[in-house]
């Protein structure tokens, strides 16, 4: 089946999972052979182009259908940056689902070498140092197109200073296929 059909199924599952939590008809007749295979997704909620919630999985550890449903509910009701979504907001909240490729560890000599390998607009990045960890989806490049600013904000998100670097930093990259409903 075309990837468009998979995207429609994932959007229907995400919206349906949120609707169910509100006691609305959330039955999503989503079928696709990929839904039973392991998959890693992020579900992003926006309102008038502004972020309203985003939660996801970096690794495929459960069936794709379950992953998108649980991430949709988490983005709507458990993103610590926002209050839980209210039923009154649901109608004008747009759902985007990103399907991640497996993250691939990057090899680099130092920060300059890493920055030279960075692919703006393509790479989703997982930054890790000790217990500090953060990720940005490739879509973040749309609001942070400068590589230096992108990485500074990613380090801040991890709880580190923007100019932090250490030889024990580990970085992985991934790509996404994304689908967004038109609301």
Q: What percent of the chain lies above the pLDDT cut of 70?
A: 96
112 and 37 part of one domain? no
Query: Tell me: the pLDDT tens digits for 18-48?
Result: 999 999 876 666 778 899 999 999 999 999 9
Domain match, 135 and 79 both: no
CATH number of residue 70's parent domain: 3.30.700.20
Range of the domain at 108: 104-176
Same domain, 10 and 94: yes
Q: Do 92 and 124 fall into the same domain? A: no
Instruction: Please report the pLDDT score of residue 2 as a whole number.
Output: 47
Q: Is pLDDT of 86 > 60?
A: yes
Domain count, the chain: 2
Q: What is the pLDDT of residue 112?
A: 97
Query: Does residue 181 fall inside a structural domain?
Result: no
When pLDDT is averaged across residues 66-74 and rounded to a whole number, the result is 97
* Same-domain check for residues 51 and 136: no
* Together in a domain, 62 and 119: no
Last residue of a domain, one of 85, 100, 115: 100
User: What is the average pLDDT score of the chain?
Assistant: 94
108 belongs to a structural domain? yes
Instruction: Give the whole-angstrom CA distance, residue 166 versus residue 183.
Output: 43
Q: Are 161 and 72 contained in the same domain?
A: no
Quick check: is 150 in a domain? yes
CATH number for the domain harbouring residue 155: 3.30.1490.150
Q: What pLDDT is recorded for position 1? A: 37
Last residue within a domain, chosen from 73, 100, 127: 100
In order of 39, 64, 108, 154, the CA distances from 129 in angstroms are: 25, 29, 15, 12
Cα dihedral 162, 165, 170, 171 sign: positive
| Domain contains 182 | no
Nearest by Cα to 45 from 100, 90, 99, 101: 90
Please indicate, yes or no, if residue 89 is contained in any of the structural domains: yes
Q: List the alpha helices (DSSP H) in 22-84.
A: 64-77
Same domain, 63 and 92: yes
Please say which residue of 70, 100, 130 terminates a domain. Answer: 100
Asked whether residue 110 falls in the same domain as residue 151, the answer is yes
The pLDDT of residue 65 is 95
Q: Average pLDDT in the 118-147 region?
A: 97
**One domain, residues 22 and 81:** yes
Question: In this structure, are 65 and 83 located in the same domain?
Answer: yes
183: in domain: no
This prediction has a pTM of: 0.92
């Amino acid at each position: 089946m075309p990837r468009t059909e998979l995207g429609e199924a994932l959007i229907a599952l995400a919206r349906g999972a949120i609707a169910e939590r509100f006691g609305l008809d959330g039955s999503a007749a989503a079928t696709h052979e990929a839904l039973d295979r392991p998959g890693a997704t992020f579900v992003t909620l926006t309102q008038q182009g502004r972020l309203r919630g985003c939660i996801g999985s970096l690794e495929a550890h459960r069936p794709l259908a379950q992953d998108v449903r649980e991430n949709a509910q988490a983005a709507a009701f458990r993103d610590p940056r926002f209050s839980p979504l209210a039923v009154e907001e649901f109608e004008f909240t747009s759902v985007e689902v990103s399907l991640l490729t497996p993250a691939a560890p990057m090899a680099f000599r130092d920060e300059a070498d890493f920055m030279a390998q960075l692919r703006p607009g393509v790479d989703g990045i997982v930054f890790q140092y000790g217990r500090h960890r953060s990720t940005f989806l490739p879509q973040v490049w749309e609001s942070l197109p400068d590589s230096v600013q992108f990485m500074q904000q990613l380090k801040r998100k991890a709880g580190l200073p923007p100019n932090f670097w250490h030889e024990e930093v580990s970085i992985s990259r991934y790509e996404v296929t994304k689908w967004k409903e038109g609301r």
